[in-house]
Amino acid sequence: MSTPDFTSSGLRRRRAVNRLMELLAWACAAIAVGILGIVVFSVARRGAGAFNLDLLTKTPVPFALGPVKQGLANAFVGTIVIVGFAALMALPIGILVALYLIEFARPAVRNVVTLALDVLNGIPAIVIGIFVFGLFVVGRGQSGFAGAFALGCLMLPLVARSTMEVLVLVPTSLREASLGLGVPRWRTTLSIVLPQTIGGIVTGATLGVARVAGETAPLLFTSSIVGTQVSWNPSHALQTVPVAIFELSESPDPADHTRAWAAATVLLLFILFASLGARWLATRSRRKLEAAR
Amino acid sequence: MTMEAENVSTIETALRVETKRLPLPPRERLEQVFDIQDLDAIYGSKPAVKGVTMEIYKNLVTAIIGPSGCGKSTFIRCLNRMNDLIPGFKQTGTVRYHGQDIGGGDVDPVAVRRTIGMVFQRPNPFPKSIYDNVAWGLRVLRMKDSLDERVERALTQAALWDEVKDRLKASALSLSGGQQQRLCIARAIAVEPDVVLMDEPASALDPIATQAIEQLMHDLKSEYSFVIVTHNMQQAARVADMTAFFSISTGAEGERWGELVEYDDTTKIFTAPSDKRTEDYVTGRFG
Q: Which of B242, B274, B270, B258 is nearest to B63 (CA)?
A: B242
3-state SS assignment for residue B126? coil
CB contact under 8 A, B127 and A288: yes
Tell me, rounded to whole angstroms, the distance of Cα B133 from its chain centroid: 21
- Quote the percentage of chain A above a pLDDT of 90: 47
Say yes or no to pLDDT of A44 above 50: yes
At A67 the pLDDT is 56
Are A277 and A153 members of one domain? yes
Residue A141 corresponds to which amino acid? G
CB contact under 8 A, B110 and A184: yes
In chain B, residues with a C-beta closer than 8 Å to the C-beta of A197 are none
CB contact under 8 A, A182 and B113: yes
In chain A, residues with a C-beta closer than 8 Å to the C-beta of B120 are 173, 176-177, 180
* CA max distance for chain A: 94
In chain B, residues with a C-beta closer than 8 Å to the C-beta of A292 are 126-127, 173
Q: Does A173 touch chain B (CB under 8 A)?
A: yes
State which residue of chain B sits closest to A105, comparing Cα positions.
B87
Tell me which residue range forms the domain holding A46: 11-50
Residue A89 corresponds to which amino acid? M
Residue B142 corresponds to which amino acid? R
Q: Which of B172, B170, B225, B235 is nearest to B201 (CA)?
A: B235
CB contact under 8 A, B114 and A191: no
CB contact under 8 A, A181 and B125: no
At A233 the pLDDT is 84
CATH number of the domain encompassing residue A113 = 1.10.3720.10
Are A23 and A68 members of one domain? no
- Is there a domain that residue B287 lies in? no
CB contact under 8 A, A183 and B111: no
CB contact under 8 A, A176 and B188: no
State which residue of chain A sits closest to B198, comparing Cα positions.
A180
Count of other CB atoms within 10 angstroms of residue B217: 19
At B1 the pLDDT is 44
Reported as half-sphere exposure (CB side, CA atoms, 13 A), residue B133 has a value of 36
Tell me which residue range forms the domain holding B46: 3-282
CB contact under 8 A, A181 and B127: no
CATH number of the domain encompassing residue B205 = 3.40.50.300
| More reliable by pLDDT, B74 or A66 | B74
pTM for the full predicted model: 0.80
In chain A, residues with a C-beta closer than 8 Å to the C-beta of B138 are none
At B286 the pLDDT is 64
- Is there a domain that residue A31 lies in? yes
In chain B, residues with a C-beta closer than 8 Å to the C-beta of A178 are 126, 137
Are A75 and A202 members of one domain? yes
- Is there a domain that residue A160 lies in? yes
End-to-end CA distance of chain B: 20
CB contact under 8 A, B124 and A181: no
Measured distance CA(B275)–CA(B287) in Å, rounded: 16
Are A250 and A197 members of one domain? yes
* Chain B residues whose C-beta sits inside 8 Å of any chain A C-beta: 80, 82, 85, 87, 110-115, 117-120, 122, 124-127, 136-137, 140-141, 173, 184, 187-188, 191, 193
- Is there a domain that residue A64 lies in? yes
- Is there a domain that residue A268 lies in? yes
Angle at B171 between CA B165 and CA B174, to 5 degrees: 90
CB contact under 8 A, A177 and B184: yes
- Is there a domain that residue B127 lies in? yes
> For A182, which of B119, B136, B191 is closest by C-beta distance?
B191
Find out whether B273 and B279 touch, Cβ atoms under 8 Å. Answer: yes
| More reliable by pLDDT, A288 or B226 | B226
At A251 the pLDDT is 84
State which residue of chain B sits closest to A290, comparing Cα positions.
B127
State which residue of chain B sits closest to A187, comparing Cα positions.
B140
Measured distance CA(B190)–CA(B143) in Å, rounded: 9
In chain B, residues with a C-beta closer than 8 Å to the C-beta of A190 are none
Q: pLDDT band for A289, please (50, 70, 90 cuts).
A: low
Helices (H), chain B: 3-18, 72-78, 109-115, 130-140, 147-157, 161-164, 177-190, 207-220, 233-239, 266-271, 276-282
State which residue of chain A sits closest to B189, comparing Cα positions.
A181
Domain count, chain B: 1
Are A192 and A203 members of one domain? yes
Reported as half-sphere exposure (CB side, CA atoms, 13 A), residue A173 has a value of 16
Are A42 and A57 members of one domain? no
Say yes or no to pLDDT of A293 above 50: no
Are A223 and A251 members of one domain? yes
pLDDT tens across the length of chain B (287 residues): 455 555 666 666 666 655 455 677 777 778 889 999 999 999 988 889 999 999 999 999 999 999 888 889 999 999 999 998 888 898 899 999 998 999 887 889 999 999 999 999 999 999 899 999 999 999 999 888 889 999 999 999 888 999 999 999 999 999 998 899 999 999 999 999 999 999 999 887 888 888 888 988 988 888 899 999 998 888 899 999 999 999 998 888 888 889 999 999 998 899 889 899 999 888 887 64
Domain count, chain A: 2
Stretch A255-276: mean pLDDT, rounded? 88
Stretch A207-230: mean pLDDT, rounded? 87
Are A125 and A29 members of one domain? no
> For A173, which of B124, B187, B193 is closest by C-beta distance?
B124
At B13 the pLDDT is 67
At B5 the pLDDT is 57
> For A177, which of B115, B126, B193 is closest by C-beta distance?
B126
Stretch A229-241: mean pLDDT, rounded? 85
- Is there a domain that residue A139 lies in? yes
- Is there a domain that residue B68 lies in? yes
CA gyration radius for chain B? 19
Measured distance CA(B64)–CA(A47) in Å, rounded: 74
Are A205 and A93 members of one domain? yes
> For B113, which of A107, A179, A191 is closest by C-beta distance?
A179
Measured distance CA(B237)–CA(B63) in Å, rounded: 9
Measured distance CA(A150)–CA(A167) in Å, rounded: 26
Say yes or no to pLDDT of A75 above 80: yes
In chain B, residues with a C-beta closer than 8 Å to the C-beta of A191 are 136, 140
Are A45 and A150 members of one domain? no
Residue pLDDT, tens place only, A83-112: 999 999 999 999 999 999 999 998 899 999
